[in-house]
Amino acid sequence: MRLLEERICRDGVVGAGNVLKVDSFLNHQMDVPFLSQLGEEIYKRFKDEGITKVLTIEASGIGIACLTAQYFGVPVLFAKKTPTNNIFGDVYTAEVYSYTHERTYTIYVSKRFLNPDDKVLIVDDFLAKGSALVALLKLVESAGASVAGAGIAIEKAYQEGGELVRSMGLRVESLARIASMTEEGIRFLED
Amino acid sequence: MRLLEERICRDGVVGAGNVLKVDSFLNHQMDVPFLSQLGEEIYKRFKDEGITKVLTIEASGIGIACLTAQYFGVPVLFAKKTPTNNIFGDVYTAEVYSYTHERTYTIYVSKRFLNPDDKVLIVDDFLAKGSALVALLKLVESAGASVAGAGIAIEKAYQEGGELVRSMGLRVESLARIASMTEEGIRFLED
């Protein structure tokens, strides 16, 4: 999606440790009208799939998930990283390995909100090594629900996550797919 | 706001420890079309205030903040509870005491995204003892920005947070103000 690629080139900063800083519009400050345009594009790609629920993971996935779900007119369910007082009753859990923090953590969703008749669209801001996405897939599978695919804002296509989940049969639509990035510039894969 | 009061009565559950469970539509599963209606109501109440930015706190404030900001056409900035890799450079910080977890934690926003010419609307899902709201006010004050007020979905009006922040001169618009709640029923304050 040209619009997102241009925004990444304009406002993204490539930092040490292969980090792409997009905190000015995507995952700290969120440019809501812009994210809504991304949400509309994700909607266009999945609108005929009978989506009943959008699933994401806190915290930076929640904004784009809500702005996508608006087009579908369906609820968002966000997996939590701590067993908080906002979740009650039985939960589905899955393990996520964080490469950033070098530790494994558990994510939770209430069993009440994922059902076998749900057709789930997973939405997240980033796809890199795929650990969070695989965990979200496990939550959907645990509930016996079906998954229509994943709508991702930015995929680091030079990392293994995209290939991993596509090889599992998941349809992944990433709005910008980064082929390589250095401090000199960012190169994208064609759609 | 009658719509929200009715929803709380229909789907909210009063649990042990004075907890109001609204995880089916507000803070775990999020009924996006419904939250968008709440956002529109907050917009109506603050639309003439020249809002330039919506400020909230992760994670459960992000959904309603984004769906409110859409009406204003402004960005959302969410304070983070951990010094994550998504924040770069200098930060403003404030302390929040969590009564639920009985500990104090620090919240962070990047200095780059709060400026003296910002007119900030704080949006959050709950107001109870006011600790998070006071901390968000401190972040705004640290930046030399001005605050137009706070748009809150549910205020537990029998707790001290609302009075505390109103006595500090803050305009608080809560869409549902709970006067009392027991397992038998929930009573609201009139607007």
Residue A164 has pLDDT above 70, yes or no: yes
- Tokens read off for B191: 């607007």
Could you tell me the pTM of the whole model? 0.96
Q: Which residues contact A48 (CB under 8 A, 6 or more apart)?
A: none
Kindly report the CA angle at B98 between A56 and B129, in degrees rounded to 5? 105
With an 8 Å Cβ cutoff, is B187 touching chain A?
Answer: no
> Is B2-188 a CATH 2.40.50.140 domain?
no
The model's confidence at residue A99, banded by pLDDT at 50, 70 and 90, is: confident
Within 10 angstroms of residue A43's Cβ, the number of other Cβ atoms is: 19
Residue ranges per domain, chain B?
Answer: 2-188
The tens digit of pLDDT for each residue in A28-45 reads 999 999 999 999 999 999
Q: Which residue of A has its CA nearest to B74?
A: A32
Q: What percent of chain A has pLDDT over 70?
A: 97
Identify each DSSP E strand in chain B by its residue range. Answer: 13-15, 19-21, 29-30, 53-57, 76-79, 91-98, 103-110, 119-127, 146-156, 172-182, 185-188
Chain A CB contacts of B60 under 8 Å are: 86
A171: distance to nearest CA of chain B, Å?
A: 24
Residue A68 has pLDDT above 80, yes or no: yes
Interface of A with B in 109-148 (CB under 8 A): 109-110, 112-113
Cβ pair A78:B28 closer than 8 A? yes
| Number of helices and strands in chain B (H, E) | 5, 11
The tens digit of pLDDT for each residue in B12-24 reads 999 887 889 999 9
Chain B CB contacts of A78 under 8 Å are: 28, 30, 59, 63
| Chain B interface test: which of A21, A86, A110, A126 (most B C-beta within 10 Å) | A86
> How far apart (Å, rounded) are the C-alpha atoms in residues B128 and A85?
15
Q: Which residue of B has its CA nearest to A114?
A: B29
Q: How confident is the model at residue A102, as a pLDDT?
A: 86
> How far apart (Å, rounded) are the C-alpha atoms in residues A179 and A187?
5
Residue B9 has pLDDT above 80, yes or no: yes
Q: How confident is the model at residue A85, as a pLDDT?
A: 59
- Tokens read off for B10: 């229909």
The tens digit of pLDDT for each residue in B147-177 reads 999 999 999 999 999 999 999 999 999 999 9
With an 8 Å Cβ cutoff, is A11 touching chain B?
Answer: no
Residue A86 has pLDDT above 60, yes or no: no
With an 8 Å Cβ cutoff, is B39 touching chain A?
Answer: no
The sign of the torsion formed by the CA atoms of A39, A43, A49, A53 equals positive
Q: Which residues contact A84 (CB under 8 A, 6 or more apart)?
A: B100
